[in-house]
Amino acid sequence: MGHLCPLHQDAEECDKAGSVATCQAVIRAVIGIGIEEEDRKHTWMEDADSCVAHGALECARAIYAHALQVFPSKKSVWLRAAYFEKNHGTRESLEALLQRAVAHCPKAEVLWLMGAKSKWLANDVPAARSILALAFQANPNSEEIWLAAVKLESENNEYERARRLLAKARSSAPTARVFMKSVKLEWVLGNIEAAQELCTEALRHYEDFPKLWMMRGQIEEQCENMDRAREAYNQGLKKCPHSVPLWSLLSRLEEGVGQLTRARAILEKSRLKNPQSPELWLESVRLEYRAGLKNIANTLMAKALQECPNSGILWAEAVFLEARPQRKTKSVDALKKCEHDPHVLLAVAKLFWSERKITKAREWFLRTVKIEPDLGDAWGLFYKFELQHGTEEQQEEVFLENVSRSGPQHDVAITRQPTRDQLCVGNERFINSGP
């Protein structure tokens, strides 16, 4: 906060004393002093952050207000101000700001989407629809806005509306993602034939989009057409040889029909085509482990760590491949190689949990979600841990932390906050797994 002068500090004192008007007047008077014109935006954003860090929220709000007067067409300033209101203001202050933002920056899709999401989370679906309709007018071929509108309808069980929107989107913005969401909607609704037809049409346009091949294969598997599923995965791999999920799906199909040797060969081939892929090594290790061939799994893990010595997902798995007495030593090795990797931190948390070292386990869970707030596995296990060992307050804290974590990737999509069931109880992996 190198720019802030004593008068700024006076403004912060006024803010803390509740003298909002005085605080705002002081900020307006001194905000431009001693700053080069080209440095204004960057410096003011830093000043606002500093005020937030000091708890001087009205000072920060006044800085954003001034910056927006000077830079009314800068999307980045509107976004920063919007995130400020989202985290520290009210829903009304956020929505009022976003309404002004889209008037100045109508091409900024993210601002429209934040406004629609705010209305939707307040259960005002018609208002969210209206915002997206205006967004369409300003951005007629925007994939993001089409897909947000589709999600709004499907999440509210308006499937026919969602279907009509997707049909229009395929006409005006026929992207791979629009096709993928079209297939997924029909698949989820059980309209398998429609899903298959859409998948075929989509692949005529986007044969190098691996998710379409994955969906085609999975739909056939669901219908127990294993030969067709195998064909879909193999065709997909000819077009997308670097798609790790496609290789994994083909291998698991063969494993599922009892063809362990074929599954193993597929993964060996995948690693030749995609060297130094931790995910494929991990899939190979787990294949052998599921087959009860723990010695082969351990041998493969040793090779995997030679080829990918800094892979957190491999080291995390390696900890639990060891017999219980050796796990602590392995975890120390993992931390030496991947000190800040969330998968390794999560493995250490699980290790302490398995040893009933509750305080240490909680500490490592907290480290994990702090370093990677988007790791869903960590939140699910952390919540399960607190359900077993925490107080109601601790359970509530983990739940609320998960649903309130902020950032651009959490604001753009129209997505409901997860329920407690979705966070843990609904996820059998976490119920049936533990430390």
C-beta of residue 209 within 8 angstroms of C-beta of residue 183: no
Residue 331: CA count within 13 A, CB half-sphere = 19
The span from the CA of 147 to the CA of 155, in Å, is: 12
- Please tell me the least confidently modeled range out of 27-36, 156-165, 405-414: 405-414
pLDDT of residue 401: 77
The span from the CA of 214 to the CA of 236, in Å, is: 8
Question: How many angstroms separate the Cα of 132 from the Cα of each of 136, 182, 283, 332?
Answer: 6, 19, 41, 51
Question: How many angstroms separate the Cα of 55 from the Cα of each of 16, 24, 52, 61, 165?
Answer: 8, 15, 5, 11, 44
Q: How confident is the model at residue 414 (pLDDT cuts 50, 70, 90)?
A: very low
Q: How confident is the model at residue 121 (pLDDT cuts 50, 70, 90)?
A: confident
Nearest to 117 by CA among 416, 414, 419: 414
pLDDT of residue 11: 59
Q: Is 32's pLDDT higher than 90? A: no
Mean pLDDT of the chain: 88
Residue whose structure tokens are 């859409």: 198
Q: Is 392's pLDDT higher than 60? A: yes
Torsion over CA: 275, 278, 280, 285 (sign): positive
pLDDT of residue 149: 95
| SS3 track for the chain | CCCCCHHHHHHHHHHHHCCHHHHHHHHHHHCCCCCCHHHHHHHHHHHHHHHHHCCCHHHHHHHHHHHHHHCCCCHHHHHHHHHHHHHHCCHHHHHHHHHHHHHHCCCCHHHHHHHHHHHHHCCCHHHHHHHHHHHHHHCCCCHHHHHHHHHHHHHCCCHHHHHHHHHHHHHHCCCHHHHHHHHHHHHHCCCHHHHHHHHHHHHHHCCCCHHHHHHHHHHHHHCCCHHHHHHHHHHHHHHCCCCHHHHHHHHHHHHHCCCHHHHHHHHHHHHHHCCCCHHHHHHHHHHHHHCCCHHHHHHHHHHHHHHCCCCHHHHHHHHHHCCHHHHHHHHHHHHHHCCCCHHHHHHHHHHHHHCCCHHHHHHHHHHHHHHCCCCHHHHHHHHHHHHHHCCHHHHHHHHHHHHHCCCHHHHCCCCCCCCHHHHHHCCHHHHHCCC
What residues contact residue 169 under an 8 Å CB cut-off, 6+ apart? 143, 146, 147, 150, 178, 182
C-beta of residue 98 within 8 angstroms of C-beta of residue 109: no
Q: How confident is the model at residue 2 (pLDDT cuts 50, 70, 90)?
A: very low
The span from the CA of 365 to the CA of 189, in Å, is: 37
The span from the CA of 59 to the CA of 28, in Å, is: 10
The string of pLDDT tens digits covering residues 194-220 is 999 999 999 999 999 999 999 999 999
Q: Is 376's pLDDT higher than 70? A: yes
| Side chain identity at residue 280, one-letter code | L
CB count, 10 Å around CB of 260?
16
Torsion of CA 37, 41, 47, 53, to 10 degrees: -170
Q: What is the mean pLDDT of residues 321-331?
A: 96
